[in-house]
Amino acid sequence: MYLSRRSALASFSLALTMTAGSGAAHAKPALNGASTATTRPARTVVAVPLDDRTFTAITGTGGSKTTLRVTLKANSDGSPLKLTRAERNRIAAILGAPTAGHKAPSGEESSRAWQSETLAGQQSGPATLRCDKNPSWSDSNGTLSARFNCRYSNINWGYKISQRVQSIISGRVVEQGVSWWKNGKRMPRNAGHVTGKNYHFHGTLKPVVHGNNVQFQDYMTFRVNIGGKTGTGSLVWVSNVKAKK
């Protein structure tokens, strides 16, 4: 069951804000705790075209949420890139971002739309991560897996970019490294990597013990080539779990 906007606001546990154009991502830890885990199939929450050459697709699952953003370059002579509706639709389809008929919103409108849709897509609380179970959450952007290894008091995570997104990446991926919070306290960031697009990103969050609420996220950037049109892309994934024996 999806939350109403009001109840989503009440249980909002992980706020991710993105600065349009900069690609910077920031997350804040929980302000209030929610304990009910939900499991839902992946679905695209929103796709907001910020302008004629930027495409954003936000996808949520029961355990993760990802944001894929692609900004195509201007024309080589410096003139603004003008895409036909057919081109926009084709690119949006590749990215999983249905944009047909959308009018590019202003910055404030975009931010408001993004926030409201983010809240609407927010799960009601952290997903439960049982000791030694190895759940994974897949969407059109990639697959996140996580395991609470209670014997060693850690969480092992892995992330693989989907084949569809890999198909538009034209160079190496710059991974910032997982930032994470335990019970609202920021913990040392995992190592970042510059590596190939088919790399299985992974890391360990520790120490984590029974009952800890762990929120973690990563940020990746890369160059893209979509049907000969080049640009830059970014992928942010966030997850919110509760470790239980």
Partner 1 sequence: MNLTITAALEWAEIILRQLGAPVGHTLDARTAAPGGEAGTQATKVAFTSRLRIGGDARPGEPTSGQSTGSVVIVLAFDDGSSTSVLLEESMTEAEAVALLAEQLQESVLEHTGGAAAPPCPGHNHPAAAKVVEGVATWTCPQDSRDRARPILPARS
How are beta strands 127-130 and 229-244 bridged, if at all? parallel
Cα distance between residue 31 and residue 240, in whole Å: 13
Cα pseudo-dihedral 98, 235, 173, 156, rounded to 10: -130
Minimum separation from the CB atom of position 233 to partner 1 (A): 15
Cα 10 to its chain centre, rounded Å, is 22
Give the nearer residue to partner 1 in terms of CB position, either 66 or 128.
66
Pick the piece of the chain touching partner 1 (CB under 8 A) from 17-25, 49-57, 70-78, 99-107.
17-25
Contact between 119 and partner 1 (CB under 8 A)? Answer: no
Give the nearer residue to partner 1 in terms of CB position, either 124 or 176.
176
Nearest to 128 by CA among 98, 106, 150, 103: 150
Residues 153-182 that bind partner 1 (CB under 8 A): 172, 174, 176-177, 179
Cα distance between residue 57 and residue 199, in whole Å: 22
Contact between 217 and partner 1 (CB under 8 A)? Answer: yes
Query: In this structure, what are the phi and psi dihedrals at residue 95, rounded to the nearest 5 degrees?
Result: -85, -10
Give the nearer residue to partner 1 in terms of CB position, either 22 or 79.
22
Cα distance between residue 6 and residue 58, in whole Å: 20
Give the nearer residue to partner 1 in terms of CB position, either 99 or 176.
176
Contact between 193 and partner 1 (CB under 8 A)? Answer: yes
Contact between 207 and partner 1 (CB under 8 A)? Answer: no
Binder among 9, 10, 24, 74 for partner 1 (CB under 8 A): 24
Q: Which 8-state DSSP code applies to residue 171?
A: S
Query: Which residues form the interface with partner 1 (CB under 8 A)?
Result: 22, 24-27, 172, 174, 176-177, 179, 188-196, 217, 219
